[in-house]
Structure 1
Amino acid sequence: MLTKAKDRLQNLWDSGKAAGMSEPEKLLYRSNLLGSDKRITNYGGGNTSAKVMERDPLTGDETEVLWVKGSGGDVGSMKLDGFSTLYMDKLRALKGVYRGLEFEDEMVGYLPHCTFNLNPRAASIDTPLHAYVPRVHVDHMHADAIIAIAASKDSKALTREIFGDRIGWLPWKRPGYELGLWLEKYCLENPEADGVVLESHGLFTWGDTAESCYATTIEIINEAIAWLEAKTEDKPAFGGARLQSLAPEARREVAAALMPAIRGMVSGNQHMVGHFDDQDAVLDFVNSNALLTLAPMGTSCPDHFLRTKIAPLVVDFDPNKPDLGAVLASLPAQVEAYRDSYAAYYERCKHADSPALRDPNAVVYLVPGVGMITFAKDKATARISGEFYVNAINVMRGASAVSEYQGLPEQEAFDIEYWLLEEAKLQRMPKPKSLAGRVALVTGGGGGIGAATAERLLREGACVVLADIDLAAAEKVQEQLSSVYSSDVVRSVAVDVTREDAVARAYAETAVEYGGVDILVSNAGIASSAPVEETSLALWSRNMDILSTGYFLVSREAFGLLRRQGMGGSIVFIGSKNGLAASPNASAYCTAKASELHLARCLALEGAELGIRVNVVNPDAVLRGSRIWEGEWLDQRAATYGTDKEGLEEMYRNRSMLKRSVLPEDIAEATYFLASDLSAKSTGNILNVDAGNKEAFTR
């Protein structure tokens, strides 16, 4: 949303901190400061540069080098190796080979010839925009307040009204070599100007030092914020509200119902991951009178557009009469209509050499009274796509309040989306990991086997929800895994697997966080040891409740969700050698574990027609990291076998045929195999991971 005066951008430059920095280090410092605030630029958007005198490694002479954010980087999080470095004399020499507008794309192929010091960071399409501005330091930002002006029908006049001669204006031009020449011409003709607004795009500012350039960028954006605030203070956003939001919990309930259904419809080419956002800015838009007018117009800034597609899909949902059944029934037709519309857009705008039609499904789904859902190939991309559309909402809010909002013309939008240079970038993307786009729910996620399994699935690109009755334990594992794999891809949820409502809530939370579930690892467990005459009904029932009923409840809920998605799935039970081979003084535990095995067989029969595979990993004696070995069970089993705690692991190792200890990582590896497409033709199977125990042979 547009900020109030007390929330204006702050100049965070610390002169003392910057004093000992080199020019490239000051450029990085400036970049990170600018990128730390989404009001200045969105993730991955905008770029910064500095022209620095460096010693040529071949001649030893001083030469001017352009340091500029490289292709695909993010100014907020980049390091020094995120900058491309290019000889300025060679960049200027490119003017001699430029053949005109029809051939500007070929200029990208010349940029590697300008590389300084063999820097492997690829130069971006925006490199000429920075190279030809005749100032040492240049910022290009995508501030919402600026783009609100740039995307207005009267953007040129508004720019003049707000900034006078200090900031100029250039009409829409796709980023590239020609726009770099336009910027140079403007600067030479307007030497006193501090920057320029690019129609439908963003802001360029410059300065003689890194600090002055940063200060100018902050000042100009704040001027735009203040002007918009004054102009819109008494105006209702988007022409006022047409609908009222549901209560927060009700919004999440609707999202939990819609997201798996949508996910199943849009995951034809690859599994997609979802993100839900119901912040105030989103709700203002989806509930507004202007929603159905503005949403089809699409976004204006190229960065916004590339992340959010030509337009969102507005779900036909009435929060005043919330009939979820009817909405779910109508969704397939809405999704199909969007695909048809997108295919028609492709046919209208394609060129003879355009890349083939890409995924025709929407990225952004707007639900009146509820919020915004986004789907993408991974969680980070889904979240960032949502952030970009919030930027677009803020732009539409400001532009429609002071003028008339205009999105990119359809052909321009297509030419950016299907730009051959953009296609080449997509083709260079690394091959996705084996579980990319998959979502796993791991019960008992706070324990040793659960944590190791989660790590193994994350390593292969999955998103993981750690479900545990001990939420603190799950959150500790989450913190550890997040530090390695990012906070986007792992969550924790409290669940008592013996309670239907708790299990249903865990799946609903998973659906809201990631869009659905593909993999269930049913691992929650306890262990008990007592002679049968000393086995109380309570102890018997507790084993059955957790190890039998609990596995039933989490599987039943998984079946319902997997059926709604319609993409199949994989369920892996973490059983036990004791489910196949009896042990003394453990009748309750062994019987409950045997129940798990037969439940898995039954579910494999029922799941086959739905593409749901159900298999079992049978561990034995996994002591390290396992919480069930931390209490009485360890003492009881040690007493049963006439040894002490220290000797129990050695006893188990020596009784195995292979004389090896079984570790949580071994169970995780087997679970990954059964959860992944490596075992795509296996269901109803039992995989023993026990270092060899003939009593547990399945045949």
Structure 2
Amino acid sequence: MNMIKTFKYVNYLWDDSKADKLGDDQVGLFLYRSNILGADLRITNYGGGNTSCKTIEIDPLTGKDTEVMWVKGSGGDIGTLKRKGIAGLYVDRLRSLKNRYKGLDQEDEMVGLFYHCIYDLQSAAPSIDTPLHGMLPFKHIDHLHPDALIAIAAAKDGEAITKEIWGDTMGWVPWQRPGFDLGLQLEECLAKNPGIRGIILGSHGLFTWGDTSYECYMNSLEVIEQASAYIEKKIAENGHVFGGKKLDSLPSEQRSAQAAKMAPILRGLCSSEAPMIGHFTDDKNVLEFINSHDLERLAPLGTSCPDHFLRTKIMPLVLDLPADMDLADGGMVRTKLEDAFQAYRSSYAEYYETCKKSNSPAMRDPNPVIILWPGVGLFSFSKNKQTARVASEFYINAINVMRGAEAISEYTALPRQEAFDIEYWLLEEAKLKRMPAEKPLSRKIALITGGGGGIGKAIGEKLIEQGANVVFTDLSLDSINGSVKEIGSDTAISLSCNVTSESDIKNVMDQTCLAYGGLDIIVHSAGLAISKSLTDTQNVDWDLLQDVLVKGQFMLAKHGMEILRKQKMGGNIVNIASKNGLVAGPNNVAYGTAKAAQQHMSRLLAAELGEEKVRVNTVNPDGVIIGSKIWEGEWAEGRAKAYGITVDELPAHYAKRNLLNEIIRPDDIADAVFALVGILKKSTGNTINVDGGMANAFVR
């Protein structure tokens, strides 16, 4: 039984009972080690670093024992790594590629040769780091990107500091772009320094190893712990970091309020080339950096580790705005920021033109990924929520690296040409081109009221299926929290909202902007139904229907437009009304009137907002009994009474009375909403009836 270790700067997560169940399954133990290492962002970022193990397997061609290396494949993440995400390669074949290697100019060609070394035909694509593991003899190897180690690796005199901390037990290899030659450098370093426990790669990260998965794990944790302790001691001796505090942060609630108002402005500016999804954080490490005296000096230097700047761009944009500035006039604020964004784009274009080569890919989106607002926090924008969130996490890691490097020496970033060669690496470009095509609603953010009901929930699920981020709102979250949790917050969140409360509506708009950066699609699906005769209809019935269906729709449009106008990206409003707004029937005066008001308000708004590229349309369901909450209780009883039938007979009644003789389901309404926001991109002021065909409800 292994003794549990206590660490201060990393999490010890090894569980003997879980490891024992794997027995002598070395690949299983390697995957287990990878997952628990990846669970601690101080050890490595999402998608960063890689791990491996070597085993003896039976060669299917010769029947003889052969050594096989199992290593994380291209594009994987060690924290979530599974068997399908690793590559299995013949070690002898991989090492024999040294006979084919002709130098740095041949690096990219070597990647293609890795496929000729494949042992396991179910392998993931081998990554560029494959030879770094293959050239070392150890059974288990970790290549990690711990903040503390990169701080040492990115320090001005990192090699000397390495010697100071570990003496002769740790090797050092100066910065070099990952590839076959770097694998040879690691091999040479070990040959010159036999007995070392690991190697630090300048500006890059850490290599550690062990004879068993557990020994490798412990070696990695101990080295990171020692580096972290050294840095924290230096910080304590200095008494401050980043030159000390220059300004104070706003209080927490005020930071969130300012960020919610600013996010859609930034999103609109960041989306000049393609729509972006946002993320915001006011993590304490972020605030320490952005409020410091050294922000102005350090931020332009950019990041050092390739994994960092590939996701964050070479440098952030720092907003030169007071943290407590009045953001009521979003248009005025946007105008102030346009010059700053244009200067950033011009700087990025200059960087590209200065560093590009004859075969470099075309310049990518020149907008910033990371935006820092002193006193408030960090915004990140990318193609989807996960990528934006991960970019934020990587920049926090970069902040930690700068913090450590400055404490022990002086932070140094990669030269711009080196950074460019990584960012515009042809292999990286090829990886981008292999990405699957984006879905129709990718990069879109939708807010749905009544998200706990059958129709609202189905609409949300349909928009998610088509690529959107969705904010489900409802009076009660019990009916949607479970499914949203399964989907994950990178795709959807749920918020409580009473659409008759203006403060609730403002709050969900703010929370949507904080979660995803802005808003593109508003679907008003919240509703209820009251079926009574004129005599039986009370003022309270009338007011409730008008407040939920009509006033709620009005306030959603009004406050939603504040966000859409800040973004200047257009948008969609879809209101779920009813056939009853078009057709006169008995016992329906309050509900039918409210639905008719919804429909005409949609037409009025379409006429008013069209010049701003905001489209407003209506979907009219009818007879959505299955899965619809409004058919529970008095409404169903009232409609059954009006038609002289029982409640149980309602589904068949409604199906038989439409031209197609079809039962209408929530999914059918969701399809109509998707058609309006994802397909019919030049339609506004329209009404789509989803009722199976009701001649008396035809719009014309």
TM over 0.5: yes
Aligned counterpart, 1:144: 147
Aligned counterpart, 1:77: 80
In structure 2, what is the Cα distance between the partners aligned to 1:398 and 1:389?
Answer: 14
Aligned counterpart, 2:535: 533
Unaligned runs of 5+ in 1: none
In structure 1, what is the Cα distance between the partners aligned to 2:537 and 2:95?
Answer: 86
> Structure 1 residues 21, 636: closer, same or farther in 2, change over 3 A?
farther
In structure 2, what is the Cα distance between the partners aligned to 1:333 and 1:630?
Answer: 56
Aligned counterpart, 1:361: 367
Superposed CA offset, 1:188-230 (max 9, x none): 2212101011111110001111111111001100111111121
> Structure 1 residues 258, 166: closer, same or farther in 2, change over 3 A?
same
The reply on whether 1:260 has 2:267 as its aligned counterpart is: no
Task: Give the SS at the match of 1:59.
Answer: coil
Aligned counterpart, 2:287: 283
Superposed CA offset, 1:58-89 (max 9, x none): 22221111101000000001101111111111
Task: Give the SS at the match of 1:203.
Answer: strand
Residue correspondence of structure 1 range 59-458 to structure 2 within 5 A = 59-234=62-237, 235-319=239-323, 325=329, 327-458=333-464
Task: Give the SS at the match of 2:495.
Answer: strand
In structure 1, what is the Cα distance between the partners aligned to 2:310 and 2:380?
Answer: 14
Question: Structure 1 residue 343: deviation in Å?
Answer: 0.3
Question: Structure 1 residue 232: deviation in Å?
Answer: 1.1
Tell me the amino acid that sits aligned with residue 26 of structure 2: E
Question: Structure 1 residue 6: deviation in Å?
Answer: 6.7
In structure 2, what is the Cα distance between the partners aligned to 1:638 and 1:322?
Answer: 55
In structure 2, what is the Cα distance between the partners aligned to 1:547 and 1:288?
Answer: 50
Aligned counterpart, 1:681: 682
Question: Structure 1 residue 21: deviation in Å?
Answer: 4.2
Aligned counterpart, 1:692: 693
Question: Structure 1 residue 654: deviation in Å?
Answer: 1.6
Task: Give the SS at the match of 1:237.
Answer: coil
Question: Structure 1 residue 53: deviation in Å?
Answer: 0.8
Tell me the amino acid that sits aligned with residue 595 of structure 2: K
Task: Give the SS at the match of 2:242.
Answer: helix
In structure 2, what is the Cα distance between the partners aligned to 1:10 and 1:332?
Answer: 44
Superposed CA offset, 1:558-615 (max 9, x none): 2222121111111111110101111210100000000111111111111211111111
Q: Given that residues 532 and 585 in structure 1 are in contact (C-alpha distance below 8 angstroms), is that contact kept between their aligned partners in structure 2?
A: yes
Tell me the amino acid that sits aligned with residue 222 of structure 1: E
Question: Structure 1 residue 533: deviation in Å?
Answer: 1.4
Q: Given that residues 484 and 493 in structure 2 are in contact (C-alpha distance below 8 angstroms), is that contact kept between their aligned partners in structure 1?
A: no
Task: Give the SS at the match of 1:86.
Answer: strand
In structure 1, what is the Cα distance between the partners aligned to 2:632 and 2:207?
Answer: 61
Tell me the amino acid that sits aligned with residue 699 of structure 2: T
Residue correspondence of structure 1 range 414-563 to structure 2 within 5 A = 414-470=420-476, 472-473=477-478, 476-483=479-486, 485-563=487-565
In structure 2, what is the Cα distance between the partners aligned to 1:505 and 1:598?
Answer: 27
Q: Given that residues 134 and 187 in structure 1 are in contact (C-alpha distance below 8 angstroms), is that contact kept between their aligned partners in structure 2?
A: no
Q: Given that residues 243 and 319 in structure 1 are in contact (C-alpha distance below 8 angstroms), is that contact kept between their aligned partners in structure 2?
A: no
Question: Structure 1 residue 504: deviation in Å?
Answer: 1.8
Task: Give the SS at the match of 2:66.
Answer: strand
Scaled by the length of structure 1, the TM-score of the pair is 0.97
In structure 1, what is the Cα distance between the partners aligned to 2:334 and 2:613?
Answer: 22
Question: Structure 1 residue 327: deviation in Å?
Answer: 4.3
Unaligned runs of 5+ in 2: 1-5
Greater mean alpha carbon deviation, residues 251-260 or residues 217-226: 251-260
Task: Give the SS at the match of 2:200.
Answer: strand
Cα RMSD after superposing both structures: 1.4
Q: Given that residues 262 and 327 in structure 2 are in contact (C-alpha distance below 8 angstroms), is that contact kept between their aligned partners in structure 1?
A: no
Q: Given that residues 478 and 490 in structure 1 are in contact (C-alpha distance below 8 angstroms), is that contact kept between their aligned partners in structure 2?
A: no
In structure 2, what is the Cα distance between the partners aligned to 1:314 and 1:573?
Answer: 39
Superposed CA offset, 1:438-494 (max 9, x none): 000001111110100000000011000012222x23xx42431442x4331111122
In structure 1, what is the Cα distance between the partners aligned to 2:333 and 2:378?
Answer: 16
Aligned counterpart, 1:28: 31
In structure 2, what is the Cα distance between the partners aligned to 1:46 and 1:560?
Answer: 42
Q: Which runs of 4+ in 1 moved over 6 A?
A: none
In structure 1, what is the Cα distance between the partners aligned to 2:143 and 2:560?
Answer: 47
Superposed CA offset, 1:263-308 (max 9, x none): 1122233221000000111111111111111111111111001010
Tell me the amino acid that sits aligned with residue 284 of structure 1: E
In structure 1, what is the Cα distance between the partners aligned to 2:205 and 2:148?
Answer: 9
Aligned counterpart, 1:564: 566
Corresponding residue pairs, total: 690
Question: Structure 1 residue 100: deviation in Å?
Answer: 1.2
Greater mean alpha carbon deviation, residues 391-400 or residues 313-322: 313-322
In structure 1, what is the Cα distance between the partners aligned to 2:421 and 2:399?
Answer: 23
Q: Given that residues 621 and 649 in structure 1 are in contact (C-alpha distance below 8 angstroms), is that contact kept between their aligned partners in structure 2?
A: yes
